Amino acid sequence: MVGESISHFGPGDLVFIAPNVPHMWQVAPECPLAEAFYLQFQPEFTGKEFFNLAEMKPVRELMTRADRGVTFSAPIRKEMASRLKKFQTLNKSERLLNLLDILHRLSQDRHSVTLGQAMARPRLNKRQEERISRVFQYLNQHLTGPISQAEIARSVRLSSSAFSRLFKNTTGKCFMKVVNELRIAQVCRLLAETSRTISEIAYECGYETLSHFNSQFRHIMKMTPIKYRRRLGTFQG
């Protein structure tokens, strides 16, 4: 999850995210644990005017796009994976120069993709961040069963109305919309990776009726589950 965007991630995934953009990587219970490497820096680490220079326009535009999250093409991901792993072995001067070069290389990727839409980003305090993190941990663990917004609100010690406001301000979406997007993301993964029937997957991912599942899938993915699986060229049914 990056802002209001929910999608799959895999080995070598690389995302550039601006400050105060809610984000989280969740691993399905049956999957092996994932390891992540983070490189964080202040937006004005070179001074207030440096990125306003004409020569830095591509980087400045990339940093603006980072408000919505940006992913990159396979060649850039492969190059950055090697460079980022070596980053912690560099001295301070080398880190500064390498960071600028990394930003330059990322800004040159013509196949980079912006994940979400621009929206006002709330500045969350530590307690709010912890609550949102606990909410998504709960969703990840209980996605296949009944989910009650009131129950989750109680678990983070908020009233239903206060929970709704916090969740909407953080993600830009209402709670049940995110639940459905998470479930459909899980459905898409199972459609791609298993030979289970579509109905089996729908029930496994928490949908009680096929009509509701089909409606949500078409709304989110803009196609039917059968068409999605056929496009993947994997399993049929």
Tell whether 53 and 77 lie within a shared domain.
Answer: yes
pLDDT at 236: 52
Tell whether 142 and 104 lie within a shared domain.
Answer: no
- 139: three-class secondary structure by DSSP: helix
Tell whether 91 and 133 lie within a shared domain.
Answer: no
Tell whether 134 and 214 lie within a shared domain.
Answer: yes
Tokens for 107, please give them: 């800004």
Task: Please indicate, yes or no, if residue 6 is contained in any of the structural domains.
Answer: no
| Domain boundary residue, one of 93, 114, 135 | 114
Task: Please indicate, yes or no, if residue 64 is contained in any of the structural domains.
Answer: yes
- CA proximity to 102, closest of 122, 128, 84, 118: 84
- CA proximity to 152, closest of 134, 170, 130, 165: 134
Tell whether 37 and 80 lie within a shared domain.
Answer: yes
The band of 12, judged by pLDDT with boundaries at 50, 70 and 90, is: confident
pLDDT at 211: 94
| Domain boundary residue, one of 69, 84, 114 | 114
Tell whether 139 and 105 lie within a shared domain.
Answer: no
**What is the residue-averaged pLDDT of the chain?**
86
Q: At what angle do helices 160-171 and 175-193 cross, to 10 degrees?
A: 60
Task: Please indicate, yes or no, if residue 56 is contained in any of the structural domains.
Answer: yes
Task: Please indicate, yes or no, if residue 110 is contained in any of the structural domains.
Answer: yes
| Domain boundary residue, one of 72, 88, 114 | 114
Q: What percent of the chain has pLDDT over 70?
A: 93
Could you give the number of structural domains in the chain?
A: 2
Give the tens place of pLDDT for each residue, 127-155.
888 888 889 888 888 888 889 999 999 98
Q: Which domain holds residue 88?
A: 15-114
The answer to whether the predicted template modeling score (pTM) of the entire model surpasses 0.85 is no
Compute the average pLDDT of residues 87-116.
Answer: 92
Task: Please indicate, yes or no, if residue 120 is contained in any of the structural domains.
Answer: no
Q: Backbone dihedral region of 56: left (phi > 0), alpha (psi from -120 to 50 degrees) or beta?
A: alpha
pLDDT at 30: 67
Give the tens place of pLDDT for each residue, 114-134.
987 655 566 677 888 888 888
Tell whether 72 and 134 lie within a shared domain.
Answer: no
Task: Please indicate, yes or no, if residue 208 is contained in any of the structural domains.
Answer: yes
Task: Please indicate, yes or no, if residue 135 is contained in any of the structural domains.
Answer: yes
